[in-house]
């Protein structure tokens, strides 16, 4: 790397640091020990609340996330499978070998993905 590139990169890094510090200003409000202590007391008071996460709400949220991600993965798997199938049907004999090679990672990825969702659902059902 020559000297011009090094100077450019150092200048770019300094510019990015200044831009980040300008965009995200410090929101420090305590300027005295009393302000720091009262802020700490407020923080501890917020942590001492007795609100407990309900298991039913947690289960519903987990089911929603599971079903949403499973649906997205199913759509992706079907679309990729359709694309590979169409490519295979329209390919020449030399191209079919390449498509068959890409089919192995596709099947492995599907097995890992849907296996992970199955394990997730089994763990949730066992915990409940």
Q: What is the pLDDT along the chain (128 residues), one digit of tens a residue?
A: 577 777 888 888 888 888 777 776 666 665 678 877 888 888 888 877 766 777 778 888 888 898 899 999 999 999 999 999 999 999 888 888 888 888 999 999 999 999 999 998 888 888 77
Question: Is residue 1 helix, strand or coil?
Answer: coil
Is residue 28 left, alpha or beta, with left meaning phi > 0 and alpha meaning psi from -120 to 50?
beta
Q: What is the pLDDT of residue 83?
A: 92
Q: What is the pLDDT of residue 119?
A: 93
Q: What is the DSSP letter of 19?
A: H
Q: What is the pLDDT of residue 35?
A: 78
């Amino acid at each position: 790397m020559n000297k011009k590139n090094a100077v450019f990169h150092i200048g770019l890094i300094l510019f990015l640091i200044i831009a980040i510090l300008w965009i995200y200003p410090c929101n420090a409000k305590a300027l005295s020990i009393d302000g720091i202590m009262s802020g700490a007391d407020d923080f501890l008071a917020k942590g001492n609340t007795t609100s407990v996460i309900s298991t039913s709400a947690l289960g519903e949220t987990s089911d929603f996330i599971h079903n949403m991600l499973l649906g997205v993965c199913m759509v992706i798997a079907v679309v990729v499978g359709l694309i590979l199938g169409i490519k295979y049907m329209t390919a020449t004999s030399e191209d079919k070998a390449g498509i068959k090679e890409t089919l192995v990672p596709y099947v492995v990825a599907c097995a890992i993905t849907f296996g992970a969702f199955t394990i997730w659902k089994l763990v949730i059902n066992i915990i409940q």
